[in-house]
Amino acid sequence: MSAADSATTMGTPTGTLFGVGLGPGDPELLTLKAVRVLQHSQCIYVPTSRLSNQDYVAEVVNRYADQQCEIQPVTFSLAATAEERKKHWQLTAADIASRLRDVQDVAFVTLGDPLLYSTYIYLIRAVRQQMPEAQIETVPGISAFSFVAALTNIPLGEGLQPLTVIPSSNDLNQIKQLINAGGGVVLMKIGRRLQQIIDAIDQADALQRSVFVSRAGLPDQRIETDLNQLRSAPEETGNLAVIIVQGKG
């Protein structure tokens, strides 16, 4: 990837925006393609958040980025309204679009997979709005829930079982209904709801086929196969955590 072999739109050379999935937090779970894109990007946008694994993201980016590469931290908007948050993404999108027009290859990194509950989704919408001809290439990453399944050897789906992924659900009845329906259930963005979610799983009589993993792949990773052990855990235990409820066999 260099200006010489850059993308062209209607004959005009442009750079490419690469959305790069860095995987869940184990440096060995980065794809070869992700490494290659990081090595060749002229600018890498690094979203930062209070809850995300910033050290891992910074370490990976610093390890692979070219010395000449510009690193651009992107803060999450804390604005109260969706409209204000959208404006925030539009500013980053405008910056990226201007680099693409200058024939720069730009990367935007995310934890896990870029197209699963990631800020990258808002970003590419905003870039497409401002630069419909933008060349966008997504490099998939290993999602946190895939890694959690691997760490615990819990199948995500078996035979004809459906699998439902629920982000940040406040609807505990929905969780119970899905578990009772017999398919596998993945709960992400658990946060402060950890205790209510454990109660819902218990009421669906599925504690014995559930696992909890927080901070997977990080030095302080926690794996619990008995969710009762989390009953009096501090409130922050549910941050950066996934629960998998295995489908009924």
Question: What residues line the site for ligand SAM (CB under 6 A)?
Answer: 24-25, 53, 110-113, 116-118, 143-144, 188-189, 213-217, 240-242
DSSP lists the bridge partners of residue 7 as 14
Comparing CB distances to ligand SAM, the nearer of 117 and 122 is: 117
Q: Decide: 179 and 199 in contact? Cβ < 8 Å.
A: no
Alpha-carbon gap, residue 197 to 231, rounded angstroms? 11
SS3 225: coil
Q: Which residue is nearest to ligand SAM (CB)?
A: 112
Paired tokens of 76:
């999450």
Comparing CB distances to ligand SAM, the nearer of 83 and 220 is: 220
Alpha-carbon gap, residue 113 to 129, rounded angstroms? 23
> Considering the complex, what minimum distance in angstroms separates the CB of residue 213 from ligand SAM?
6
Comparing CB distances to ligand SAM, the nearer of 100 and 244 is: 244
Sort residue 144 into left (φ over 0), alpha (ψ -120 to 50) or beta. Answer: alpha
Q: Decide: 179 and 210 in contact? Cβ < 8 Å.
A: no
Comparing CB distances to ligand SAM, the nearer of 117 and 202 is: 117
> Considering the complex, what minimum distance in angstroms separates the CB of residue 26 from ligand SAM?
8
Which amino acid, residue 38? L
Q: Decide: 114 and 124 in contact? Cβ < 8 Å.
A: no
Comparing CB distances to ligand SAM, the nearer of 89 and 103 is: 89
> Considering the complex, what minimum distance in angstroms separates the CB of residue 190 from ligand SAM?
6
Alpha-carbon gap, residue 142 to 216, rounded angstroms? 12
Comparing CB distances to ligand SAM, the nearer of 91 and 121 is: 121
Q: What angle do CA 18, 24, 25 make, to 5 degrees?
A: 105
> Considering the complex, what minimum distance in angstroms separates the CB of residue 193 from ligand SAM?
11
Sheet strands side by side (includes 16-21): 70-75, 43-48, 106-110, 16-21, 135-139
> Considering the complex, what minimum distance in angstroms separates the CB of residue 111 from ligand SAM?
5
> Considering the complex, what minimum distance in angstroms separates the CB of residue 95 from ligand SAM?
22
> Considering the complex, what minimum distance in angstroms separates the CB of residue 113 from ligand SAM?
4
DSSP lists the bridge partners of residue 243 as 187, 212
Comparing CB distances to ligand SAM, the nearer of 117 and 130 is: 117
